[in-house]
Amino acid sequence: MESINGNPDYMDSPFLSAGERMYVVGHQNGTFPDLGWHIKDEMGGVWLPPIKLMDGYSLSIKKDTQQICLNEAVNFENYPVGASQNFNLDELGIAIRQFHFVPEEEKGVIIALKLQNNSSEANNFQLNIHNAVDLLPVWLSDSLQLKNGKDKGKWIMKPGVYTAKDESNKWFVAFGGKGFKPSMNNQLCDIESNGLGFNQTLSKPIKLKANESQVIFYAIAGSYESRGEVLNIHKKLLKNRLQLLEEKIIAYQNIKNFNALSTNDEGFNQMYTWLKYNSKWLMQTVPELGTGITAGSPDYPWWFGTDNGYAVQGLLATGMHKEALQSIALTLKLSQKANGDTGRIMHEASTNGVIFNPGNLNTTPKFVSLLWKAYAWTADSKILDYYEFIKKAVKWVEQQDKDQNGYPDGAGMMEIHGLDSEMIDVVSYQYEMYIAAANFAKVKNDMVLANEYNQKAISLKERINSDWWVEEFKSYADFRSSKEKAIQLTEDAIIRADSIQKPWSVEELENTLIQIKADQNEGNSPFVVFHNWIVNTPMEVGASDPDKAEKALKSAEKYSNRFGMFVTGIDRDEKQEKASKWKSFSYVGAVMTLPTGVQAIAQAKYGKADKSLEYLKKLENSFSYALAGSMYEVSPDFGMMAQAWNIYAVAVPVVEEYFGIKPAAWKNEITIKPNLPLSWDDVSLNQIKVGNNLIDIQVKRIDNTLEFKISQLHNWKINFEYAEAKSISFDGNKTVKEKIELFDRVHHIKVEM
């Protein structure tokens, strides 16, 4: 498979290797330091959600009286299915390559070690693997009255495996490999860890002839059932290691092949493809709960309804339909557990099933629009079974309008301290929700409700463009509130901007404060104070009038740097070029991937594909920056090293806007309305999954002509539109229309601009 070499400046920063049952978080240099804050210093290591197995594992070599800890890998290489590290022990004439992977459906990790003797003489030494056992429960387990007990170990002579158990719970870990035995007096290279676990070294004597190499295998397995199960898993891992690796490679090749993008920009192609891999890394299965995409690693390895409203749209757009449907089902299951039949979507749940936040205000409307996209892409009949839920969700959102002015009250994506009023993203997603709910009602032949939802969408769109537009700022408002509340928030923002040494923000906010104080309106009014990225959501969902969109998108451009969009205008710092190490993570000066993706979608939705692509190229600047093959949550190296919503930020503008794929799988129909960037003169998107159909699109640009080849597996109806076309020729026919209907398997289309 393809691989990406790590950045040598970031060897002392995290990596993620994962399957659906287990994942490993360590550092690229081969160490497993304390990491994370949700469970302080415990978010790294080997995890089998909802429990942790080990703080990590490390290698050392002992020859004669000398022991060398392998904690400074000379390189890190990331694969879609695993990762490798190389260690050079020149003083001993030994080189070691460690490759590990987590089988997709198994509760374990397999480690392969290639030991190379570079000496012209025989080389005999002892290989040690240091295992830091630390069996403990995931975040929020205290609410389940789970008590973490002391871990006790046991060596089982046959089959030669070391096991450990938490004394208070049925949590087990097993580790070992052929020829390894417990070893004493090798504590020099033990992993330092807290908690109630222990360190146990397993050793194996190695004899290598001159210039000889040897490959040995080691496995770690876990169970929350029994010692018998963990031993069986461990045996299976070592016995079937090649088969398990082949199965994982095939699975990732399928991910690559579906909705496969090819442009003349290889770096962009790589980012698009690897973000699909990142999404698979974040899929997590927990018995009794289900399977779904988690928010991020290392500190958010659990499920978010809010994040899924974005991330799952990216899964759909990249052909990962099974993963999308699994994530939807799990989110709805957890929401039912948290909120009963109210229709509210939960925000955050740990992998033990404990709900931390029953739902932010923007979460539910965004999720309803996701459900419609899922049905349009997959035609899965189970989604129609959610129709009663959808009606309740609409009602729940409307019930949050405490002052009965048509806008729900409460925080959305941006939780502004001291503000419980109306937020623009909530209202934008409410509009999107009405459109989706109307579509569901039509499919269910509930025309009375369909008309009601449509009318509400039309009315809300008009109000977004009247009640929320602030002409002085050429922008939609962050929020609507009373004048007094806006003054207080602006004064607080000035203090914050000054404290973080943002003089341009202070000046801008002081001018804003003057305008607010001069405002003569009574009641709630729209205010642009923070320049939050959420002001772009009316364009993201297509609710903005074109003339206002033109102005708003232009206004937003100054709130970005070479990595993307800032979270707020207060954080703006055009001189921020040098990245800070991930350890100093702060939202001050934060450039986030989601706001950048929203801006890219917004630009493309209003016809500005070239400007949209500029934003995606900014995201490309942070791809593989700190972790090879991954994109951080906050560009380029802050927050989560893998983040679920990144696939939304990149795939949705590419697939739905540039190639213009508008699926209608439930009626065997698809609309293709391309809006390609000018620089994409030879591009393709192949094996596009829409229901049970597969569509290929190849495009070549020659001067003012675009030549399309569109093929499909089944004879579905294809609606092809190109708004700026001078004329369209297709299959030997010519038309001056902007729209044509196609029905056969293969079509050749020529668009004269």
- C-alpha count within 13 angstroms, C-beta hemisphere, residue 348: 11
The first and second tokens of residue 46, run together, are 């080997």
Classify burial at 40, counting beta carbons within 10 Å of its beta carbon; exposed 0-12, middle 13-18, buried 19 or more: exposed
Q: What is the pLDDT of residue 587?
A: 43
> In which residue are the tokens 């790590």 written?
6
Task: Provide mean pLDDT across the span 58-84.
Answer: 96
Cα 52 to Cα 38: distance, rounded to the nearest angstrom:
13
- Which homologous superfamily does the CATH classification assign to the domain defined by 660-752? Golgi alpha-mannosidase II (2.60.40.1180)
> In which residue are the tokens 């959305």 written?
412
Q: What is the pLDDT of residue 736?
A: 76
At 474, phi and psi to the nearest 5? Answer: 50, 50
At the top level of CATH, the class of 10-252 is: mainly beta
Task: Provide mean pLDDT across the span 489-501.
Answer: 80
Classify burial at 539, counting beta carbons within 10 Å of its beta carbon; exposed 0-12, middle 13-18, buried 19 or more: buried
At 278, the pLDDT band (50, 70, 90 cuts) reads very high
Whether the predicted pLDDT of 713 surpasses 90: yes
Whether the predicted pLDDT of 418 surpasses 70: no
Residues 6+ apart with CB under 8 A from 232: none
3-state secondary structure of 557: coil
Q: What is the pLDDT of residue 139?
A: 95
Whether the predicted pLDDT of 503 surpasses 90: no
Domain boundaries of the chain, sorted by first residue: 10-252, 409-556, 660-752
The first and second tokens of residue 335, run together, are 């929401």
- pLDDT: is 731 or 690 the higher one? 690
At 410, the pLDDT band (50, 70, 90 cuts) reads confident
Q: What is the pLDDT of residue 149?
A: 96
- State pTM to two decimals: 0.95
For 738, other C-beta atoms within 10 Å of its C-beta total 15
> In which residue are the tokens 């949590």 written?
171
Query: Hey, which bits of 563-604 come out as E strands?
Result: 564-565, 591-592
Cα 85 to Cα 260: distance, rounded to the nearest angstrom:
29
Cα 372 to Cα 582: distance, rounded to the nearest angstrom:
37
At 573, the pLDDT band (50, 70, 90 cuts) reads low
Task: Provide mean pLDDT across the span 463-487.
Answer: 93
**Closest by alpha carbon to 290, among 348, 229, 353, 244?**
353
Task: Report which residue type is found at 271.
Answer: M
Residues 6+ apart with CB under 8 A from 72: 11, 29, 30, 87
Residues 6+ apart with CB under 8 A from 338: 344, 346, 349, 355, 358, 359
Task: Provide mean pLDDT across the span 147-172.
Answer: 96
What Rg do the C-alpha atoms of the chain give, in angstroms? Answer: 28
Cα 585 to Cα 632: distance, rounded to the nearest angstrom:
11
pLDDT digits (tens, 9 = 90+) for 511-530: 888 888 887 777 789 998 88
Helix %, strand %, coil % of the chain (to 5): 35, 30, 35
Whether the predicted pLDDT of 455 surpasses 70: yes
pLDDT digits (tens, 9 = 90+) for 104-135: 999 999 999 999 999 999 999 999 999 999 99
Q: What is the pLDDT of residue 415?
A: 64
Three state DSSP letters for 692-744: CEEEEEEEEEECCEEEEEEEECCCCEEEEECCCCCEEEECCEEECCCEEEECC
Q: What is the pLDDT of residue 356?
A: 96
At 569, the pLDDT band (50, 70, 90 cuts) reads confident
Cα 344 to Cα 328: distance, rounded to the nearest angstrom:
14
At 192, the pLDDT band (50, 70, 90 cuts) reads confident
- pLDDT: is 583 or 402 the higher one? 402
Task: Provide mean pLDDT across the span 275-298.
Answer: 97
pLDDT digits (tens, 9 = 90+) for 654-702: 999 999 999 999 999 999 999 999 999 999 999 999 999 999 999 999 9
Whether the predicted pLDDT of 580 surpasses 80: no
The first and second tokens of residue 119, run together, are 């000496």
The first and second tokens of residue 518, run together, are 């001069």
At 93, the pLDDT band (50, 70, 90 cuts) reads very high
The first and second tokens of residue 378, run together, are 């997959």
**Closest by alpha carbon to 239, among 369, 76, 110, 416?**
110
pLDDT digits (tens, 9 = 90+) for 13-49: 999 999 999 999 999 999 999 999 999 999 999 999 9
Least confident of 29-38, 48-57, 245-254, 573-582: 573-582
Whether the predicted pLDDT of 496 surpasses 90: no
**Domain pair 10-252 / 660-752, same fold:** no
At 321, the pLDDT band (50, 70, 90 cuts) reads very high
Percentage of residues in the chain having pLDDT higher than 70: 96
Residues 6+ apart with CB under 8 A from 580: 637, 638
